[in-house]
Protein backbone atom coordinates (compact mmCIF):
# COMPACT_ATOMS: atom_id res chain seq x y z
CA UNK A 1 0.00 0.00 0.00
CA UNK A 2 1.47 3.35 -1.09
CA UNK A 3 0.63 6.31 1.13
CA UNK A 4 1.97 9.67 -0.05
CA UNK A 5 3.43 12.47 1.99
CA UNK A 6 1.98 15.95 1.56
CA UNK A 7 3.30 19.52 1.54
CA UNK A 8 3.46 21.08 5.02
CA UNK A 9 5.40 24.21 4.08
CA UNK A 10 5.99 26.06 0.81
CA UNK A 11 8.55 28.82 0.27
CA UNK A 12 9.11 30.92 -2.84
CA UNK A 13 12.83 31.35 -3.54
CA UNK A 14 14.10 34.72 -4.83
CA UNK A 15 17.51 35.69 -6.16
CA UNK A 16 20.12 37.36 -3.94
CA UNK A 17 23.86 38.05 -4.25
CA UNK A 18 26.29 35.81 -2.40
CA UNK A 19 30.06 35.30 -2.34
CA UNK A 20 32.06 37.37 -4.83
CA UNK A 21 29.41 38.35 -7.35
CA UNK A 22 27.48 35.07 -7.52
CA UNK A 23 23.67 35.10 -7.68
CA UNK A 24 21.81 32.51 -5.64
CA UNK A 25 18.27 31.49 -4.80
CA UNK A 26 18.52 30.39 -1.15
CA UNK A 27 15.58 28.54 0.37
CA UNK A 28 16.79 26.36 3.22
CA UNK A 29 18.91 28.56 5.46
CA UNK A 30 16.82 31.65 4.76
CA UNK A 31 14.67 33.43 7.34
CA UNK A 32 11.60 31.65 5.96
CA UNK A 33 13.05 28.16 6.20
CA UNK A 34 15.76 27.96 8.81
CA UNK A 35 15.42 24.66 10.65
CA UNK A 36 14.88 21.63 8.43
CA UNK A 37 17.13 19.10 10.19
CA UNK A 38 19.55 17.83 9.00
CA UNK A 39 19.45 20.21 6.02
CA UNK A 40 21.22 23.51 6.72
CA UNK A 41 21.22 25.32 3.39
CA UNK A 42 20.13 24.96 -0.23
CA UNK A 43 21.44 27.40 -2.84
CA UNK A 44 20.48 27.39 -6.53
CA UNK A 45 23.46 29.33 -7.88
CA UNK A 46 24.39 31.15 -11.08
CA UNK A 47 28.03 32.21 -11.32
CA UNK A 48 29.03 34.67 -14.01
CA UNK A 49 32.58 35.33 -15.24
CA UNK A 50 34.80 36.80 -12.54
CA UNK A 51 32.49 35.70 -9.73
CA UNK A 52 32.77 32.70 -7.45
CA UNK A 53 33.59 31.50 -3.96
CA UNK A 54 37.29 32.18 -3.16
CA UNK A 55 39.19 30.56 -0.27
CA UNK A 56 36.97 29.92 2.76
CA UNK A 57 36.84 27.36 5.60
CA UNK A 58 34.28 24.74 6.68
CA UNK A 59 33.77 22.57 9.75
CA UNK A 60 31.00 20.24 10.92
CA UNK A 61 28.92 19.71 7.78
CA UNK A 62 28.80 18.05 4.38
CA UNK A 63 28.48 20.15 1.25
CA UNK A 64 26.96 18.64 -1.89
CA UNK A 65 27.59 20.47 -5.17
CA UNK A 66 25.57 19.32 -8.18
CA UNK A 67 26.13 21.03 -11.53
CA UNK A 68 23.14 21.67 -13.82
CA UNK A 69 25.01 23.69 -16.46
CA UNK A 70 28.63 24.57 -17.06
CA UNK A 71 31.37 23.43 -14.72
CA UNK A 72 33.18 24.56 -11.59
CA UNK A 73 36.75 24.12 -10.35
CA UNK A 74 37.54 23.28 -6.75
CA UNK A 75 40.76 23.19 -4.75
CA UNK A 76 41.45 22.65 -1.05
CA UNK A 77 44.14 22.96 1.57
CA UNK A 78 44.67 19.17 1.69
CA UNK A 79 45.83 19.08 -1.94
CA UNK A 80 42.54 17.91 -3.45
CA UNK A 81 41.54 19.60 -6.70
CA UNK A 82 39.40 18.93 -9.73
CA UNK A 83 36.45 19.96 -11.87
CA UNK A 84 32.75 19.31 -11.35
CA UNK A 85 31.21 19.01 -14.82
CA UNK A 86 27.61 19.42 -15.99
CA UNK A 87 25.60 16.63 -14.36
CA UNK A 88 28.40 15.72 -11.95
CA UNK A 89 28.42 15.84 -8.16
CA UNK A 90 30.90 16.47 -5.37
CA UNK A 91 29.91 15.22 -1.91
CA UNK A 92 32.39 16.79 0.50
CA UNK A 93 32.45 15.90 4.17
CA UNK A 94 34.22 18.89 5.75
CA UNK A 95 34.54 17.12 9.10
CA UNK A 96 36.96 18.78 11.50
CA UNK A 97 38.15 21.34 9.00
CA UNK A 98 39.06 22.22 5.44
CA UNK A 99 39.76 25.41 3.50
CA UNK A 100 38.76 25.43 -0.15
CA UNK A 101 37.83 27.54 -3.16
CA UNK A 102 35.05 26.98 -5.70
CA UNK A 103 35.39 28.95 -8.93
CA UNK A 104 33.55 28.81 -12.27
CA UNK A 105 34.96 27.74 -15.60
CA UNK A 106 34.27 30.71 -17.87
CA UNK A 107 35.02 31.43 -21.49
CA UNK A 108 33.60 32.20 -24.89
CA UNK A 109 30.93 29.71 -25.88
CA UNK A 110 30.88 28.12 -22.42
CA UNK A 111 27.62 28.33 -20.44
CA UNK A 112 27.76 30.09 -17.08
CA UNK A 113 27.92 27.58 -14.24
CA UNK A 114 24.52 26.90 -12.66
CA UNK A 115 23.89 24.31 -10.02
CA UNK A 116 22.78 23.44 -6.53
CA UNK A 117 24.70 23.41 -3.29
CA UNK A 118 23.17 21.60 -0.34
CA UNK A 119 24.65 21.73 3.17
CA UNK A 120 23.84 18.80 5.44
CA UNK A 121 24.54 18.74 9.17
CA UNK A 122 26.81 15.93 10.37
CA UNK A 123 25.77 13.76 13.32
CA UNK A 124 27.61 14.93 16.43
CA UNK A 125 29.86 11.85 16.49
CA UNK A 126 31.15 12.68 12.97
CA UNK A 127 31.79 16.40 13.44
CA UNK A 128 35.54 15.95 13.90
CA UNK A 129 36.29 13.22 11.35
CA UNK A 130 38.95 13.78 8.70
CA UNK A 131 37.62 15.52 5.57
CA UNK A 132 36.68 13.24 2.68
CA UNK A 133 35.22 13.40 -0.82
CA UNK A 134 32.87 11.29 -2.88
CA UNK A 135 32.78 12.52 -6.46
CA UNK A 136 30.91 11.22 -9.48
CA UNK A 137 31.35 12.42 -13.04
CA UNK A 138 28.08 12.75 -14.99
CA UNK A 139 28.29 9.31 -16.57
CA UNK A 140 28.88 7.66 -13.16
CA UNK A 141 25.62 8.87 -11.58
CA UNK A 142 23.18 5.95 -11.94
CA UNK A 143 19.79 6.63 -13.50
CA UNK A 144 16.39 5.03 -12.86
CA UNK A 145 13.53 4.86 -15.37
CA UNK A 146 10.40 4.00 -13.35
CA UNK A 147 8.30 3.53 -16.53
CA UNK A 148 11.08 2.38 -18.87
CA UNK A 149 13.61 4.34 -20.90
CA UNK A 150 10.85 5.45 -23.28
CA UNK A 151 8.67 6.60 -20.37
CA UNK A 152 8.13 10.20 -19.29
CA UNK A 153 10.53 10.30 -16.33
CA UNK A 154 14.21 9.82 -15.53
CA UNK A 155 15.65 9.90 -12.01
CA UNK A 156 19.35 10.63 -11.49
CA UNK A 157 20.23 8.88 -8.24
CA UNK A 158 22.86 11.12 -6.64
CA UNK A 159 22.58 9.18 -3.37
CA UNK A 160 20.17 6.58 -1.99
CA UNK A 161 17.82 4.24 -3.86
CA UNK A 162 15.11 4.76 -6.46
CA UNK A 163 13.13 2.08 -8.33
CA UNK A 164 15.79 -0.58 -7.89
CA UNK A 165 18.74 1.70 -8.71
CA UNK A 166 21.28 2.62 -6.00
CA UNK A 167 24.02 5.25 -5.90
CA UNK A 168 27.55 4.34 -4.75
CA UNK A 169 27.66 7.52 -2.59
CA UNK A 170 27.58 6.71 1.15
CA UNK A 171 26.86 9.84 3.24
CA UNK A 172 27.55 9.92 6.97
CA UNK A 173 24.15 9.99 8.66
CA UNK A 174 22.17 8.86 5.63
CA UNK A 175 20.67 11.00 2.86
CA UNK A 176 18.80 10.26 -0.36
CA UNK A 177 19.14 12.86 -3.11
CA UNK A 178 17.53 12.66 -6.55
CA UNK A 179 17.34 14.84 -9.66
CA UNK A 180 13.96 14.06 -11.22
CA UNK A 181 13.33 14.94 -14.88
CA UNK A 182 9.86 14.59 -16.44
CA UNK A 183 10.18 15.04 -20.22
CA UNK A 184 6.39 14.69 -20.46
CA UNK A 185 3.50 14.84 -17.97
CA UNK A 186 3.26 11.73 -15.81
CA UNK A 187 3.00 10.28 -12.31
CA UNK A 188 5.33 8.14 -10.21
CA UNK A 189 5.56 7.09 -6.57
CA UNK A 190 8.97 7.42 -4.91
CA UNK A 191 9.47 5.33 -1.77
CA UNK A 192 11.21 7.05 1.15
CA UNK A 193 12.50 5.89 4.55
CA UNK A 194 9.99 6.32 7.38
CA UNK A 195 10.26 9.50 9.43
CA UNK A 196 12.96 11.15 7.33
CA UNK A 197 12.91 14.91 6.64
CA UNK A 198 12.06 15.49 2.98
CA UNK A 199 11.99 18.50 0.68
CA UNK A 200 11.58 19.22 -3.02
CA UNK A 201 13.05 22.19 -4.91
CA UNK A 202 11.37 22.83 -8.28
CA UNK A 203 12.91 25.05 -10.98
CA UNK A 204 11.11 24.03 -14.16
CA UNK A 205 7.59 22.94 -15.16
CA UNK A 206 4.73 22.23 -12.75
CA UNK A 207 4.38 19.58 -10.04
CA UNK A 208 1.60 18.14 -7.90
CA UNK A 209 2.32 16.29 -4.64
CA UNK A 210 0.08 13.45 -3.44
CA UNK A 211 -3.61 14.14 -4.07
CA UNK A 212 -3.22 17.89 -4.64
CA UNK A 213 -5.29 19.45 -7.40
CA UNK A 214 -3.19 22.60 -7.89
CA UNK A 215 0.36 22.22 -9.24
CA UNK A 216 3.33 24.08 -7.78
CA UNK A 217 5.27 26.47 -10.03
CA UNK A 218 9.06 26.91 -10.45
CA UNK A 219 11.38 28.36 -7.80
CA UNK A 220 9.55 26.96 -4.81
CA UNK A 221 10.85 24.71 -2.04
CA UNK A 222 8.30 22.27 -0.61
CA UNK A 223 8.81 20.65 2.78
CA UNK A 224 6.91 17.36 3.05
CA UNK A 225 5.17 15.63 5.94
CA UNK A 226 6.63 12.58 7.68
CA UNK A 227 3.61 11.02 9.40
CA UNK A 228 3.56 7.33 10.38
CA UNK A 229 2.58 5.14 7.46
CA UNK A 230 3.63 7.66 4.79
CA UNK A 231 6.08 5.43 2.93
CA UNK A 232 6.89 7.77 0.05
CA UNK A 233 5.58 10.56 -2.15
CA UNK A 234 3.41 10.64 -5.26
CA UNK A 235 4.86 13.01 -7.85
CA UNK A 236 2.77 14.23 -10.80
CA UNK A 237 4.25 16.48 -13.48
CA UNK A 238 1.51 18.42 -15.28
CA UNK A 239 3.83 20.04 -17.84
CA UNK A 240 6.64 18.94 -20.12
CA UNK A 241 10.21 19.45 -18.89
CA UNK A 242 9.40 19.46 -15.20
CA UNK A 243 12.64 19.28 -13.18
CA UNK A 244 13.34 19.26 -9.48
CA UNK A 245 15.49 17.74 -6.78
CA UNK A 246 14.07 15.62 -3.98
CA UNK A 247 16.16 15.11 -0.83
CA UNK A 248 15.34 13.01 2.22
CA UNK A 249 17.51 12.44 5.28
CA UNK A 250 17.33 11.21 8.84
CA UNK A 251 16.55 14.11 11.22
CA UNK A 252 19.17 14.75 13.92
CA UNK A 253 18.23 15.12 17.57
CA UNK A 254 20.96 17.64 18.36
CA UNK A 255 21.31 21.43 18.66
CA UNK A 256 22.49 23.40 15.63
CA UNK A 257 24.86 26.24 16.43
CA UNK A 258 26.08 27.83 13.22
CA UNK A 259 28.45 30.67 12.51
CA UNK A 260 28.82 31.02 8.75
CA UNK A 261 30.59 27.89 7.45
CA UNK A 262 31.13 26.45 10.96
CA UNK A 263 28.34 24.18 12.24
CA UNK A 264 28.59 22.59 15.67
CA UNK A 265 26.24 21.63 18.53
CA UNK A 266 27.19 24.23 21.18
CA UNK A 267 28.55 27.76 21.50
CA UNK A 268 31.60 26.31 23.25
CA UNK A 269 32.36 24.16 20.20
CA UNK A 270 32.03 27.19 17.94
CA UNK A 271 34.41 29.16 20.19
CA UNK A 272 36.84 26.23 20.03
CA UNK A 273 36.52 26.29 16.24
CA UNK A 274 37.48 29.99 16.18
CA UNK A 275 40.54 29.23 18.31
CA UNK A 276 41.53 26.28 16.10
CA UNK A 277 41.19 28.45 13.00
CA UNK A 278 43.15 31.36 14.49
CA UNK A 279 45.93 29.07 15.74
CA UNK A 280 45.96 26.85 12.64
CA UNK A 281 45.29 23.54 14.39
CA UNK A 282 42.88 20.57 14.53
CA UNK A 283 42.07 20.58 10.82
CA UNK A 284 43.05 24.17 10.06
CA UNK A 285 46.82 23.66 10.01
CA UNK A 286 47.17 25.50 6.69
CA UNK A 287 44.64 28.24 7.46
CA UNK A 288 47.17 31.08 7.26
CA UNK A 289 49.74 29.67 4.85
CA UNK A 290 47.67 28.02 2.09
CA UNK A 291 46.35 30.00 -0.86
CA UNK A 292 44.48 28.39 -3.72
CA UNK A 293 45.59 28.79 -7.32
CA UNK A 294 42.01 29.24 -8.53
CA UNK A 295 40.73 31.66 -5.84
CA UNK A 296 42.31 34.72 -7.46
CA UNK A 297 41.08 33.94 -10.98
What's the rounded Cα separation, in Å, for the pair 270 and 256? 11
What's the rounded Cα separation, in Å, for the pair 75 and 259? 22
Residues 8/225, Cβ–Cβ less than 8 Å: yes
Q: Helix (H, G, I), strand (E, B), or coil: what is residue 139?
A: helix
Residues 117/43, Cβ–Cβ less than 8 Å: yes
How many Å is the Cα radius of gyration of the chain?
19
Helices (H) then strands (E): counts for the chain? 1, 25
What's the rounded Cα separation, in Å, for the pair 131 and 137? 20
Please state, in angstroms and as integers, the Cα–Cα distance from residue 68 to each residue in 87, 99, 160, 221, following that order: 6, 24, 19, 17
Angle at 127 (CA atoms; ends 95, 196), nearest 5 degrees: 105
CA-nearest of 155, 200, 198, 199 to 178 is 155
* 56 belongs to an annotated ligand binding site: yes
What's the rounded Cα separation, in Å, for the pair 49 and 71? 12
* 220 belongs to an annotated ligand binding site: no
* 288 belongs to an annotated ligand binding site: no
Angle at 179 (CA atoms; ends 178, 185), nearest 5 degrees: 120
* 102 belongs to an annotated ligand binding site: yes
The H or E element containing residue 271 is helix 267-279
Residues making up the binding site: 56, 58, 100, 102
Residues making up the binding site for Fe cation: 56, 58, 100, 102
Amino acid sequence: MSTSRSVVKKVEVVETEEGAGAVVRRSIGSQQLRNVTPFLMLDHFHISKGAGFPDHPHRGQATVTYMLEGSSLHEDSAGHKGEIKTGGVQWMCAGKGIIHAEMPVSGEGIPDPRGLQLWIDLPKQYKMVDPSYQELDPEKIPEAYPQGEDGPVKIRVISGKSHGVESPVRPLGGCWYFHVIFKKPGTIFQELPAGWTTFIYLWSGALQIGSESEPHKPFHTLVLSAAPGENGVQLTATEENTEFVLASAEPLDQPVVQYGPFVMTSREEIQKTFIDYQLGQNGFEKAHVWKSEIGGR
